[in-house]
Amino acid sequence: MEKRKEGIKVISSNKRATFDYELLERFEAGLVLTGTEIKSVRANQVSLQRSYVHPRGDELWLLEANISPYAHGNRENHEPTRPRKLLLHRREINRILTNLAQKGLTVVPVRLYLKNGRAKVEIALARGKHKYDKREDVARRDADRQVERALREKYR
């Protein structure tokens, strides 16, 4: 899962987030990682599937993100699902915290990537989708796919 654009290498994306949530506003955050964690990130050993962002005091933390232990590590290897602090500007944190006070909003990690050699996580302010919203998305995706298929057949 590698896309390169302007020095960006996508390591992991959370496709479930776009299916379960309506993403309202996106932010780019840095991560506080240990040495073995960044080596595992560079080796694409990351999963964001069950991860979420939670405020603690006036900071945001990434919880349950699984960064596998480094294969060539030693006893100083990291715990795979330890909490990791997110690095954002104070005004961004304040904006997120005020929006979290609204009912029905949450913050989800969308993707983890390397930007110029530094690990970044894209987080999004999100609102949960209802079942009928998900069905509409699936129907729209199927219709788009059929249109693409028909256009390809027509111009062959």
On whether the pTM is more than 0.85, the answer is no
Residue 74, CB-side half-sphere exposure with 13 Å CA sphere = 1
Which helix (H) or strand (E) covers residue 152, if one does?
helix 131-154
Residue 126 pairs with which residues in a beta bridge?
23, 106
Average pLDDT over residues 113-138: 87
Q: Per CATH, which fold does 4-129 belong to?
A: Small Protein B; Chain: A; (2.40.280)
Predicted confidence at residue 75, as pLDDT, reads: 78
Question: For residue 109, is pLDDT > 70?
Answer: yes
Q: Which two tokens stand for residue 32?
A: 């506080």
Higher pLDDT, residue 5 or 119: 119
> Is the confidence at residue 49, as pLDDT, over 80?
yes
Residue 55 has pLDDT above 80, yes or no: yes
The first and second tokens of residue 78, run together, are: 């990291």
Find out whether 114 and 28 touch, Cβ atoms under 8 Å.
no
Mean pLDDT of the chain: 88
pLDDT at residue 101, rounded to an integer: 87
Q: What is the pLDDT of residue 120?
A: 94
For every residue of 57-106, DSSP letters joined together read TTEEEEES-EEPPPTT--TTPPPTT--EEEE--HHHHHHHHHHHTSTTEE
Length of the chain in residues, anyone? 156
Terminal Cα distance for the chain, rounded: 30
CA-CA-CA-CA dihedral for 28, 33, 37, 38, to nearest 10: 60
CA atoms of 155 and 149, how far apart (whole Å)? 10
Domain ranges of the chain: 4-129
